[in-house]
Amino acid sequence: MFALRHFNSSPSSLLPRWGDGSASVVEAMVTAMEQQQENVTAVQNHTSGVISVVLPMSLGIISNTVALFILVNAYSLQRRRSKATFLLFATSLVITDFFGHVIPGALVLRLYLTGGQSTEDSSDSMCQFLGGSMVFFGLCPLFMGCAMAAERCLGVSKPLLHSSLVTKTRTKVCLSIIWLAALCVALLPCFQLGSYTYQEPKTWCFINVLNDTMGVDVAFVALFSGLGLTSLAVALVCNTISGLTLVLARIRRQPGSHHSARSHDIEMVVQLVGIMVTSCICWSPLLVCYEKNQFSNEFRTVDENLTNYQTLMYIGVRLATWNQILDPWVYILLRRTVLRKIYLIVKCQAGLKDTVMGRWEKSFFPSLDQKEVQQV
């Protein structure tokens, strides 16, 4: 039946009827050409799929390794407790991002090399592990970004309270709670509270939102997207408060007074804003798409809409993986040493010495004047 249907739909049906022998030869040639074209297309898709997995995974490993080396070196030299706490959070974030590339990336690469889903079971053990790891390594950076923003907000707005509450031990406990909370969410499908399934093109697994979804699946998706969006919202509020507090402190500062500690606060808040913006750009499309899907059935009713939604999910997950690549570069590029060089270049090019921006020079870069005098 399949061969007959293929025969009727092939271009050979449009050929003139010469003779039984001639027509059979032409039809065989056309069929062979079609099969060859399909094989070439399949090889090209397979190669592009492997490259699309290997390239981001390699970039993520390199980026996080460089950032980890810089953070460990800075942490060993840091004497200020507030800065050491921030570096401990940042180091944990980079380590989590590193394993978030290695573990899911290796599993997805294996599925690409083996041709995708290998069993009839749409949620085998490998799919369960891959889906759980993607949820775990997806929530951890969002939770950590939220915790870092809250810690800096407390340190900037209430420094005395921060010094009495925030210690290295409590920071480690907070990190353990974050990892445990993300792990508990990822393990919910093991207790039949949600499910993971293969997603198109059957080379990765994630939360089931389209295929025979039940109430627990909807609740699981709502929990995942709700936790992610809440983390981003809390980080946005905390970073806004920190930024406004620093601006007001700079405006109210008496002329001639120096607060070198504020330069560290500005540096950390700038880095947190960078992490927050990166997370919003990378994660918001997927989280909003998931949240929207829970209040609309249009994607499940029409095949065309279903295909579009699967494509959006695939692009959203691809975009979310770049969060783990860009996070370390936020810290690498937004350090004071790098910003100082950028500031000096801009100052030399635009002549900002006597402008309003020059007032920030001594607060954010307190060592610039001293270095310039030593050079003279």
**Model pLDDT for residues 198-240, shown as the tens digit of each residue:** 887 777 888 888 777 788 888 898 899 999 999 999 999 999 9
Q: Is residue 305 included in any domain, yes or no?
A: yes
Dig out the tokens for 295 from the structure.
């209040």
Distance, in Å, from the CA atom of 145 to the CA atom of 151, rounded to the nearest integer, reads 10
Best-predicted range by mean pLDDT (52-61, 68-77, 87-96, 338-347)? 87-96
Q: Is residue 365 included in any domain, yes or no?
A: no
Dig out the tokens for 239 from the structure.
């970073």
What pLDDT is attached to residue 370?
43
What pLDDT is attached to residue 18?
47
Contact indicator for 98, 65 with CB cutoff of 8 Å: yes
Could you tell me which residues come within 8 angstroms of residue 168 by beta carbon, excluding any fewer than 6 positions away? 81, 84, 85, 88
Residue at 250: amino acid letter: R
| 72-94 burial: b if 16+ Cβ within 10 Å, else e | eebeeebeeebbbbbbbbbbbbb
Determine the average pLDDT of the residues in 20-45: 57
What pLDDT is attached to residue 360?
47
**Structure-token match 């056309």, residue found:** 30
**Structure-token match 């990822």, residue found:** 186
Distance, in Å, from the CA atom of 137 to the CA atom of 185, rounded to the nearest integer, reads 11
What is the tens place of the pLDDT at every residue in 321-374?
888 888 888 888 887 777 778 778 877 876 655 454 455 455 555 544 444 333
Q: Is residue 327 included in any domain, yes or no?
A: yes
Total domains, the chain: 1
Say if pTM beats, i.e. exceeds, 0.85.
Answer: no
Domain hosting 243: range is 34-252+261-354
What stretches of the chain show up as alpha helix (H) in DSSP? 2-9, 20-77, 81-113, 125-157, 159-165, 168-186, 215-252, 260-294, 298-301, 303-321, 323-333, 336-350, 361-364, 368-375
The enclosing domain of 107 has a CATH number of 1.20.1070.10
What pLDDT is attached to residue 373?
32
Q: Is residue 281 included in any domain, yes or no?
A: yes
Instruction: Indicate if the pLDDT at residue 184 is higher than 80.
Output: yes
What is the tens place of the pLDDT at every residue in 149-165?
999 899 888 888 888 88
